[in-house]
């Protein structure tokens, strides 16, 4: 819908791949930072997508992106 993958979503994908690789290795305990980064990037990406959708709708449905 946005046409391109937002930066935070691409970074989340990389962090999830890193976490998956680490979880598959003998160093599974070191995956937590990658998982944490992926979660934060997904949150940022979702927030950015909601803001862009709200701006694109021009307030047609009374949605305030600040709420």
Q: Considering its fold, how many domains does the chain have in total? A: 1
Q: Report yes or no on 32 lying in a domain.
A: yes
Kindly report the number of other CB atoms within 10 A of residue 19's CB atom. Answer: 21
Run means of pLDDT, 10 residues per run, the chain, 67 residues: 69 86 82 87 86 74 57
Q: Report yes or no on 25 lying in a domain.
A: yes
Q: Report yes or no on 63 lying in a domain.
A: no
Of 48, 53, 49, 2, residue with least CA distance to 63: 53
Q: Report yes or no on 58 lying in a domain.
A: no
Question: How many angstroms from the chain centroid is the CA of residue 43?
Answer: 5
Q: Given this model, what pLDDT does residue 50 score?
A: 84
Q: Report yes or no on 56 lying in a domain.
A: no
Q: Report yes or no on 67 lying in a domain.
A: no
Give the range of the structural domain holding residue 22, as residue numbers without chain letter. 7-49
What global pTM score does this model have? Answer: 0.61
Q: Report yes or no on 30 lying in a domain.
A: yes
Q: Report yes or no on 24 lying in a domain.
A: yes
H and E: helices and strands count for the chain = 2, 0
């Amino acid at each position: 819908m946005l046409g391109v993958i937002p930066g935070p979503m691409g970074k989340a994908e990389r962090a999830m791949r890193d976490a998956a690789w680490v979880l598959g290795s003998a160093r599974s305990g070191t995956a937590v930072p990658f998982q944490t980064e992926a979660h934060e990037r997904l949150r940022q990406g979702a927030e950015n997508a909601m803001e862009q959708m709200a701006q694109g709708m021009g307030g047609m449905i009374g949605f305030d992106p600040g709420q």
